[in-house]
Structure 1
Amino acid sequence: MRREALSEKAEEMAHFVVVAGEPSGDVLGAKLISDLKRINPNHQFSGIAGPLMIAEGCDPWFNISDLSVMGLIEVVKHLPRILGIRKTVIEKVKSLEPDAYIGIDYPEFNLSIERALKKRKIKTIQMVCPSFWAWREARANKFESAIDLMLCLFPFEPRLLEKKNVKAEFIGHPLADEIEIEERNKSVSNNELLNIALLPGSRRKEIEYHLEVMLDAALIIQEKLSSTSKECIFSIPTRFKEMDDWIRSYGKFDKLNISILKDTSECLPNSDLVITKSGTSTLESALYKKKTIVVYKMSPTSFFLLTRLNLINVSYASLPNILLGYDFFKELIQNDFKADNISDEAIQLLEIDSDGYSDPLIKMHRDLQTPNEEGAAFAITRFLGLS
């Protein structure tokens, strides 16, 4: 953000209700609160918060852990509690009449609240646009009735939302600001030890679908590279303490040199090649300028419904390919997700000269950075007439 602008306090103090529903939203919310307080330290914040938002001064009506449920069965089981929280938040906001309600991601929950509040003329701001352009496009037709301002992480989203009569601003992607744009993929041509990152997913079901096939591919890669005197270490970032046990349970990967790490920030910067399931990790790998293979598998029923009912609106599974407009990263989806396919592509990528490989990713990185150093806080205060 512009230092000179941030050093000037806005004359008018505002009260913001900020609602996040998961840890990633807590990170975004904490940064937003910090930036808004730098504009005016007298601003007040309350809502649904995690530890990071609370540390920045948000008064928590509920904790994000109160909304933390995964899977259809668990959602149904906890639905009365979630609906109760939703009702309480709506009542509190109507009573307080804050300057704005800011929903951070968590669209199904936040949009329903925002729709109720907009009817009462309370300003509603949604930070992180739902991926309507990727699937369930009809959702966007309901945004106008719920949202006064959409804050977008991708530069193409405001143009699409304009067609839906939704005011929107591109605020930059936090990963693009966090990761150094100069970061380039290291040449592996002279490395005796290759670091290959395996990212099977952050959910148990994703790991169930991806981990074994990825490790099978790792065995093939290791065998093919053995004749070149190159050794491999396979790094797996995970939050699951059981990862070691899961790998041992397969009973066939003892020969692999596997390193279990806490998160992708420990893993990706030093990787020579990344094999990752589709998701935010593909964008993170692209911003680190890494040679990457994207994979994904789901249940046959889910895949059938998504494809036959035309619920998917994009040609690619990974964000970098969507942003670039072509298949820069190889995608191995569903029936193509096989160990042989992964290993063949991996060997080809490792043999490619790294010089020039990063150029499209560097341009994409620049396009995703916060425009003119003005992020969400500036967009919000400008929209509300506070600065």
Structure 2
Amino acid sequence: MTRPRLIFVLAGEPSGDVLGGRLMAALKAASGGVEFIGVGGPAMRAQGLDSLFPMEELSVMGIVEILPHARRLFARMRQTAAAIDAARPDCVITIDAPEFAHGVAKRIRDRAIVRIHYVAPQLWAWRPWRVHKLKRHFHHLLGLLPFEPAWFARHGVSCTFVGHPVIENAMMAPEKNTFRQRHGIGRDAPVVCVLLGSRKGEVGRLAAPFRDTLARLKLAHPGLVAVLPTVPNVAALVRELSADWPVRAIVVEAVADKPAALAACDVGLAASGTATLELSLAGVPLVVASRFAALTYLIAKPLMRVRFANLINLILDREVVPEFLQGNCRADILAPALSSLFGPEGARQKEAVQPALKQLGMGGRPPSERAANAVLDIIAGRA
């Protein structure tokens, strides 16, 4: 009797955990039999994963921020590589968390195990020379962006475009008033979605300027309500920092409640990242605003190779979604930009983002299904 495929799946942060959970479900549906081991969070555990250690230990971002945790992270790399050696899986799939993923892949690259990295690192944006290390460590990449396979092919790296995961979220979008009715928000009340990010440092840096922005915004939009979708590892901090905000603030932690929360909003104020795409797909016009640790920004800025932080702008090669970074992330700049989105400017943005969303896979097969089929094809090709 042929044993089921054994796949080691490793996620390092909440967004990767969601990707991993969906990929595991799609692999089960697409294959005759598959078993999983690895590291993940609640979404992957819901698919039957017994995580080697808490995924939250890996949720560290930034050149400077990672230094205090380096010893523990290296120990977890060694533990993960040892677990892979002991299990001898058919395939190792690392999801996002590129620094940790590279550390693990380096330790197992001499093994006869297929190594796939899901969420191709954005080397086209900065540090493109790292593609050579990527080529040594992984057999194949799964890309979220339509231009990535061609870029990586020019550098000798195999990459398959599977579509962006936010497309899958949009396939289950609820009706706008579901969330409003549940929370006693009037049909005509102005509602702003506030996305502070998924890491504690990011949340800490953005809470004050976002609070001050809402204080100004409510003067032009009485009855303003803020909806704050967040993730478990920063939910307590988000609740603490938003407790004294000048508007009603509703914190939404459950993943299942997030689509309804986004659909209820009129405009969005978001840290740069995947969440900005979720707002665009939900039909919510937004502004992007971020502050990075000063030293991290100082080191990273000269290495950047792109004009924009937001993927919609990047794909369209023009600023459709306004971006306010570092010194421009201020209430006196953000409030009028947000206020304009309650009017015709918001409608214009919703129309302008559509070509980019189609390029990301809107209207096609679910990205998790495409990713699962790619994984099985890659394993079969190397079996």
What's the TM-score once normalised by structure 1's chain length? 0.82
Change (3 A) 1:304 1:185: farther
Q: Which runs of 4+ in 1 moved over 6 A?
A: 70-74, 181-186
- Listed as ranges, the gaps of 5+ residues in structure 1 are 1-10
Q: Corresponding residue for 1:360? A: 352
2:324 corresponds to which letter in structure 1?
L
Shift of 1:325: 1.5
Structure-2 residue corresponding to 1:208: 204
Aligned pairs for 1:332-347 within 5 A = 332-347=324-339
User: Secondary structure of the equivalent of 1:120?
Assistant: coil
Aligned pairs for 1:13-92 (under 5 A) are 13-65=4-56, 67-68=58-59, 75-76=66-67, 78-92=69-83
Q: CA deviation at 1:165?
A: 0.6
Whether 1:130 aligns to 2:121 is yes
Task: Answer yes or no: is 1:384 the counterpart of 2:379.
Answer: yes
1:60–1:287 distance in 2 versus 1, CA, 3 Å: same
Task: Determine if the alignment matches structure 1 residue 167 to structure 2 residue 158.
Answer: yes
C-alpha change, 1:332 and 1:355, in structure 2 (3 Å) is closer
- Please, which moves more after superposition, 261-270 or 122-131? 261-270
The alpha-carbon deviation at position 248 of structure 1 amounts to 5.5
1:282 match: 276
User: Contact (CA 8 Å) 1:117, 1:124: kept in 2 or not?
Assistant: no
Is 1:120 aligned with 2:111?
yes
Are the structure 2 counterparts of residues 67 and 336 from structure 1 closer, same or farther at C-alpha, using a change threshold of 3 Å? Answer: closer
Distance in 1 of aligned mates of 2:374 and 2:77: 26
Of residues 354-363 and 313-322 in structure 1, the stretch that sits farther from structure 2 once superposed is 354-363
Number of corresponding residues: 364
Q: Distance in 2 between matches of 1:207 and 1:28?
A: 22
Q: 1:277 to 1:168 in 2, by over 3 A?
A: same
The Cα offsets for residues 179-219 of structure 1, whole Å up to 9 and x where unpaired, read as 13988999xxxx74211222233333323322222222222
Greater Rg, structure 1 or structure 2? 1
Task: Check 1:214–1:80 CA distance in 2 against 1; reply closer, same or farther (3 A cut).
Answer: closer
- Cα displacement (A) at 1:69: 5.2
**Corresponding residue SS for 1:316:** coil
Question: For the structure 1 residues 265 and 290, does the alpha-carbon distance in structure 2 shift closer, same or farther, using more than 3 Å as the test?
Answer: same
* Structure 2 equivalent of residue 328 of structure 1: 320
Displacement of 1:84? 3.2
1:224 aligns with 2:220: yes
Conserved? CA contact 2:13–2:56, under 8 Å: yes
Instruction: Please give the alpha-carbon distance, in whole angstroms, between the structure 2 residues aligned to 1:372 and 1:260.
Output: 32
- 1:104 deviates by 1.5
The residue that corresponds to 2:305 in the other structure is 313
1:375 aligns with 2:333: no
Q: Which moved more, 1:129-138 or 1:286-295?
A: 129-138
Tell me which residue corresponds to 2:264: 270
**Secondary structure, in 3 states, of the residue corresponding to 1:94?**
helix
Distance 1:132 1:298 in 2: 19
Is the contact between residue 242 and residue 249 of structure 2 (CA under 8 Å) also seen in structure 1? no
- SS of equivalent residue, structure 2 residue 228: strand
Q: CA RMSD in A?
A: 3.2
Q: Measure, in 1, the Cα distance between the counterparts of 2:38 and 2:282.
A: 34
1:372 deviation in Å?
4.8
1:178 aligns with 2:173: no
SS at match of 1:317: coil
Contact 1:185 1:354 in 2 (8 A): no
C-alpha displacement at 1:91, in angstroms? 3.4
Q: Distance in 2 between matches of 1:85 and 1:343?
A: 43
Which residue of 2 is the match for residue 240 of structure 1?
235
Aligned to 1:3: none
CA-CA distance at 1:37 after TM superposition: 1.8
Change (3 A) 1:25 1:237: closer
How many angstroms does 1:286 deviate by? 1.3
Equivalent pair of 2:190/2:221 in contact (CA under 8 Å): no
> Cα gap change, 1:83/1:358 in structure 2, threshold over 3 Å: closer, same or farther?
same
Cα separation, 2, equivalents of 1:74 and 1:206: 11
**1:383/1:300 CA distance change after superposition, 3 Å:** closer
1:294 pairs with 2:288? yes
SS class of match (1:305): helix
Residues 315, 219 of structure 1: alpha-carbon distance in 2 compared, 3 angstrom cutoff: same
Q: 1:88 to 1:165 in 2, by over 3 A?
A: same
Partner of 1:140: 131
Using the TM superposition, name which of 217-226 and 121-130 deviates more. Answer: 217-226
SS at match of 1:193: coil
Contact 1:151/1:169 (8 A) holds in 2: yes
Using the alignment, how far apart are the partners of 1:246 and 1:83 within structure 2?
Answer: 32
C-alpha distance in 1 between matches for 2:134 and 2:67: 25
- Structure 2 gaps of 5+ residues are 178-186
Separation in structure 2 between the aligned mates of residue 247 and residue 51 of structure 1, nearest angstrom: 25
Contact 1:185 1:289 (8 Å CA) reproduced: no
The TM-score normalised by the length of structure 2 is: 0.83
The answer to whether the Cα contact below 8 Å between 2:175 and 2:263 also exists between their aligned partners in 1 is no
Contact 2:60 2:199 in 1 (8 A): no
Q: Percent identity?
A: 26
**Structure 1 residue 331 displacement after superposition:** 1.1
